[in-house]
Amino acid sequence: MAIRTILHYPDARLREKAQPVSTVSSGMTPEILTLLDDMGETMYAAPGVGLAANQIGVSLRIFVIDVASEDEPSNMIEFINPEILGRVGEQTWGEGCLSFPGVTEDIKRAATVTVRALDRRGKPFELAADGLLAVAIQHEFDHLEGVLMIDHLGVLKKRIVNRKMQRRGVSA
């Protein structure tokens, strides 16, 4: 396992739509399994609650999430080729993003989502989620579509976030 470099906004690779993972009847390839392990290690080291493959420069439809609190055991969920099947209700959550270090903004999202994906063995699963898990799934799914949290903000908030990123030494 290795900790990978997380891309920061405005890196153009964050805007690329990720490509589906080719599935194998016997499970995932060794390269995909290594990627999943590296993504988990990178997410925990950052630290964060989610990480999409394209945030580390790999344009594949994969993300990992662990919303367990510090006093709970880790519960990382791996999503390969995820599809959001349904969205219900509305909630606003103060979101951060590993590609926007130091930035937290209120983002409006669905309160409940249902997602279908493959696990590391290539087996399909469905999950209904609410609260932070629903937010994280939508946030990471957006990454796979090339959509960033800044895209959910109004013009003024976008300018503020751009300024914050410029102060960190990144021009937008």
pLDDT tens by residue, 48-88: 999 999 999 999 999 999 999 888 999 999 999 999 999 99
Which structure tokens are listed for 59? 């344009």
Q: Is residue 102 part of a domain?
A: yes
Place of tokens 């959910």: 152
For residues 112 and 89, give the distance between their C-alpha atoms in angstroms, rounded to a whole number: 6
Secondary structure percentages of the chain, helix, strand, coil, to 5: 30, 25, 40
Question: Considering the domain boundaries, does residue 172 fall inside one?
Answer: no
Domain with 107 in it: 12-167
From its phi and psi, is residue 43 left (phi > 0), alpha (psi between -120 and 50) or beta? alpha
Evaluate whether residue 80 is within a structural domain. yes
Indicate the DSSP class of residue 45.
Answer: H
- Residue 58, amino acid: V
Q: Which residues contact 81 (CB under 8 A, 6 or more apart)?
A: 20, 21, 23, 61, 62, 117, 118
Asked whether residue 126 is domain-assigned, the answer is yes
Report pLDDT for 25: 67
The number of folded domains in the chain is: 1
1 lies in a domain?
A: no
Whether 140 is catalytic: yes
Q: Which of 78, 95, 105, 140 is catalytic?
A: 140
Structure pTM? 0.94
Could you give the CA distance from residue 164 to residue 100 in angstroms, rounded to a whole number? 9
Examine residue 133 and state whether it is found in any structural domain, yes or no.
Answer: yes
**CATH number of the domain enclosing 79:** 3.90.45.10
